[in-house]
Every structure is written in C-alpha cells, then in structure tokens.
Amino acid sequence: MAEAARPSAHRWPTVWSVAPGAGSLVLAALPLGFLVLLLLAPALRLLAEAGWSEAGWLTWFSPWTDDYLRWRMLWSGVQAALTCVLVLVLGVPVAWVLARMEFPGRGLLLRALMLPFVVPTLVAAMGVLALLGPRGVLQQCLPYSLEQTPWLLLYGNVFFNLCILVRAATEALEQVSASRVAAARTLGATPWRAFWLIEWPAILPWLMSALCLVFLYCFSGFGLALLLGGPRYATVEVEIYTLVAHELQLTQAGVLAAWMLLTTGLCALAYSALERRLATPLRADRIARQRPRRAAQWLAVVGCVAVLAMLCGAPVAAIVWRALSAGPQAWAVLADADTLQALWNTLRFSACALALATLLGVCHALAARRWAVLRALAFLPFVVSPILVAFGLLLLYPSWTASAPLLVAAYALLAYPFVATSLAAGLDGMPASYLAAARTLGANPWRAFWRITWPLLQPALRRGMAFAAATAVGEFAVTLFLSRPEWATLTTMVYEQLSQPGASRYDAALVLACALMALALAVFVLLEWPWGADSRGEPDHA
C-alpha cells in the first residue's frame, strides 16, 4: 500500500549505475538462489510427495473423501473467512476515526498497531488463554467457558490481523479526494451518504487487498491454531504437523500441504492483482483531520481506543498480569540452566538469521529496481506458511534436518522479506532531485550512492531489520521441525511447559512467555526506535 506513486526505476539510479551487467546478475543471483533452494525446491518436493503412493495422483483428492480431513479443510477456510468479516466490521470504523480525527495520543495509537507484528504467535496465544482461557482473567465474567469452542481461535486471529486492515483503511481514507466529498455534501448528501457514495468505493480496493492478507495469514496460521483451536477446531497446518511429527504419514501430509499451497497461491495472486490497482498517484487534496468537538465525535474516539485496547492490548496485558501473579516460584524458571541455554540459542540463532536476512534483503531490494518480477518474488515467503517450509525442507534435505545452517537459513527465509520490502519502499520514496544534485556537483555514481542513497536508506533498513529480528526471535513452527533437543529456544520451552500437566507448569509457561515477549519488544525497539517518528513507516503488506 505504501508503494503507490513510485518514481519510475530509471529516475533513481542506484548501484546499477555503478555495476551494470555482471554486478546486477550477482546481486540478483543471491536472493533468487536462496528462494529456489529454500522455498521453491521444497515446495516442489511437497507436491511430489503428494503424488507418490500406490494410488498415484488419486491421493490428491483424499482430503475431500475423508470426513475428518474434509472438516479440517473446510474449517480452515471458514475460520479465515469469519476473521475477515470480523476485522472488516471492527476495523473500518476504527480506521475512519484515525483518518479523520486529530486527538491526543493518536500517534501513539498508530504506533501501537505494530504490536501484533512484534509479539510472537505463541505469546499471543498464551495471552488469549490468560485472558479468556479456563483460568483466564475474564473467565468469571463470562456466562460459559470458551474452552473447546472456536471463539478463542477467532479472537486470536482478530488480535493478529485487525491492525492489517486498520492500517490499510487508514491510509486509503487519507487519500480520498476532499473536493469530491465536499461536492457531495454541497449537493445535499449527508455524511453517511457521502461515505457510501464517495469514500467507500475509493477505499474498497485497499480493503480487499488487506482482506486477502488476512485470509492468507489465518488460513496458514499455526501457533494460534495449535494452542487455541483444541482437538476439534485445529486447522490444516496443525494436522500437517501432527501427521509428520507424531504419525509419520508423510504422503497424507504432503497431500494436505499441496492443497494448502494451491489455496494460498490463489489468494496471493488475488492480492497481487489488487496491489497493481493501488499503484496510482497520491492525491494532493486530502481531507484534513479535525479535532473532536461534539459529544458524538469524542464518543467515536473513545470507542476506537476501546476496541483497540480490548482486541490488541488486552491479551498482552493479561499475560503480564498473570505472570506477575504467578509468584516467586514460577519466576525461578528464568534462572534454570535450561532456560538460560534456550535464551542463548534464541539470541544466537536470531542474530545469525538477522545477518543473513539483512544481506538477502539488501540484495533483493537493489536488484528489484531493475527487475519488477524480482520485487514480487519477495512476497513468496509470506505466502508459504512456516509449517510448509519446514516440512518441505525436511523432505528435500533429510541429512541436513538437524543442522544449524539449515535452521538459520529457514529463519532467514521467513525474516528477510521484511528487509527487502522496507528497503524497496524506502527507495521508492526518495526524491530523484537529491541524486541529480549530487551528480551535478561532480559525484560519480559510486560516491553518490554511498553518500546520498545509502544514508537515506538507513531508517528503512533499520525498520525492516527490526521486524525481521522480531520474526526470528518468535519463530516457532520451523524450530519444532528442524531443531535438536539441545537447541531448544524460548518458544519451544513455552510449548514444552504447556504440554505438561500441572498449575506450576502453566505458571512457568506464563513467565517464559512474558520473558519472550519482552525480548522480542526489546530487540524491535533497539533496532527501530531511533527512526520511530513515523508511525506508519512500515509497508502495510509486511
């Protein structure tokens, strides 16, 4: 979304002006080769596994002939579609308030919308359980238990995906033509009618684009479905993990993975088509925000804050509250040797993955200035879920399954698109006049790149690195498949504590989840904070 109104690639020379030909091929070869080896080849291996059986290609239709698997497939789509409806109904009013009202704390509220991108999925699931689970903070206020119901999973989905639609809708509403709305009001249209006739058609493509991402993330989600779905409402991703890790039914898991790839691929194509429609020049006559004056306007602001607090802030607050209430015995888990080893594993794997992701992201962003197709390929890791990535790597490279390089490479695969997309957006937003002035003053292409282009890219680079680091710190699915027992991270320790019965184990899981969240937030803030003035700097599709 933030990629609209980009200058054409030839107007802003980058490293291509210095290293054309062979240099461009070298930069493009690194991310392309990485995607082929770590994503495309494992995906093809998954498809091959789906067809290797005595029944041949007929096994592809087995999920639709088996009642149990058919329910898993249908429920995965239904819960994703329900989440889309919920975030649309809740997100559009919130976005309208953020786009049209200027009130104290608005900038902080916009910045808080990045919280779901930073909090690991396992921590978010723990937060939902701490809030609404069997021993949750609000459980006594509910008329019945939400355990073994779909509402916990739907609430977790809304927590993670509401910010996507709100950010997209806010940006779209800020680009609505003020003159067209004023003309409609002059002709007698009420504010509500002006919204439906002018604003709604203008923001609809943005909403559809965001909903494609919401559906994609919910359909291929793993951590939330594993902890919140229960035996009945788990998704296909959880079923694939169960078939591989516990039942060793690789062919059946491959079939399900193939259907997942097909569905997510179609959703990604729809998103790509919508994104091309959004590549239009920004409007200069934006509607100016106004301070609330009437009681109804202040009520709308309060409602906006309440919705975001309940849906995006309450799970985080609940997990902190429950962890603080657990007592000193539960907090003693932080001093255990296993916990300290898990912390060291988390830090070293994340640091190595961040270094590799930064290198890949920089090369990808610079190469994408020459080849538009390469820019689209940066979104492939967003399309394929971590479970499918890990399963494909497990099948394709069985001898490397328990190796640190493959684990770090899988982390980097899931993290580097944040760096690539952030840098690409940073390149798009640079005025071409800066480099032209440097060249006029006698700077050669290399000097202009290092003295002008690269310093201006630093905020975008640090922002992308911050999201990449938070992704690596909280990665869970890949670690379950590819890690050794001695390579346990904080995420796997949280899951291990939850898997064992007893209140003390649950309290220890809460403390570990709180520590994991604090670590992810600290890493994010340390990397991104110096350039944090713009609360909407990160591309919405990231």
Tens place of pLDDT for every residue, the chain, 542 residues? 334 333 333 344 444 444 444 556 677 788 888 888 888 888 888 777 766 555 455 567 777 787 888 888 899 999 999 999 999 999 999 999 998 888 888 888 887 787 777 888 888 888 898 888 887 788 777 777 777 788 899 999 999 899 889 988 998 888 888 888 888 888 888 888 888 888 888 888 888 888 888 898 888 888 888 888 888 888 888 888 888 777 777 777 777 877 887 887 777 777 766 665 655 545 557 788 888 888 888 999 999 999 998 988 889 889 889 888 888 888 988 888 888 999 999 999 999 999 999 999 988 888 877 666 777 777 778 777 788 888 888 888 887 777 888 889 999 998 888 888 888 777 766 666 666 666 676 666 666 667 667 777 788 888 888 888 888 888 888 888 787 778 888 888 888 888 888 888 888 888 998 888 888 888 887 776 654 444 433 333 33
* Nearest Cα to Cα of residue 523 among 471, 488, 478: 471
Residue 416 C-alpha from the chain's centroid? 12
* Torsion over CA: 343, 349, 355, 357 (sign): negative
Task: Give bridge partners of residue 290 from the DSSP assignment.
Answer: 101
* Torsion over CA: 245, 250, 256, 258 (sign): positive
DSSP string across 99-148: HHB--TTHHHHHHHTTHHHHS-HHHHHHHHHHHHSTT-TTGGGSSS--TT
Residue 234 C-alpha from the chain's centroid? 20
Report the C-alpha gap between 536 and 176 in whole angstroms. Answer: 18
pLDDT, residue 349, reads 92
Pair of tokens at residue 6: 């980009």
Report the C-alpha gap between 395 and 397 in whole angstroms. Answer: 6
Q: Is 293 helix (H, G, I), strand (E, B) or coil?
A: coil
Q: Which domains does the chain have, with CATH numbers?
A: 60-315 (1.10.3720.10)
Buried b (16+ CB within 10 A) or exposed e, 53-73: beeeeebbebbeeeeebeebb
State the pTM of this model: 0.80
pLDDT, residue 14, reads 45
Give the residue carrying structure tokens 């694939």.
240
Report the C-alpha gap between 270 and 26 in whole angstroms. Answer: 31
* Nearest Cα to Cα of residue 133 among 272, 319, 257, 350: 319
Report the C-alpha gap between 167 and 459 in whole angstroms. Answer: 20
Report the C-alpha gap between 98 and 93 in whole angstroms. Answer: 9
pLDDT, residue 353, reads 93
Task: Give bridge partners of residue 177 from the DSSP assignment.
Answer: 286
Pair of tokens at residue 317: 């607050």
Residue 101 phi/psi, 5° resolution?
-115, 140
CA angle 154, 127, 470 (to 5 degrees): 95
**CB atoms < 10 A from the CB of 274, how many?**
19
Q: Is 524 helix (H, G, I), strand (E, B) or coil?
A: helix
* Torsion over CA: 306, 311, 313, 318 (sign): positive
Give how far Cα 254 sits from Cα of 64, 243, 251, 530, Å: 14, 9, 5, 45
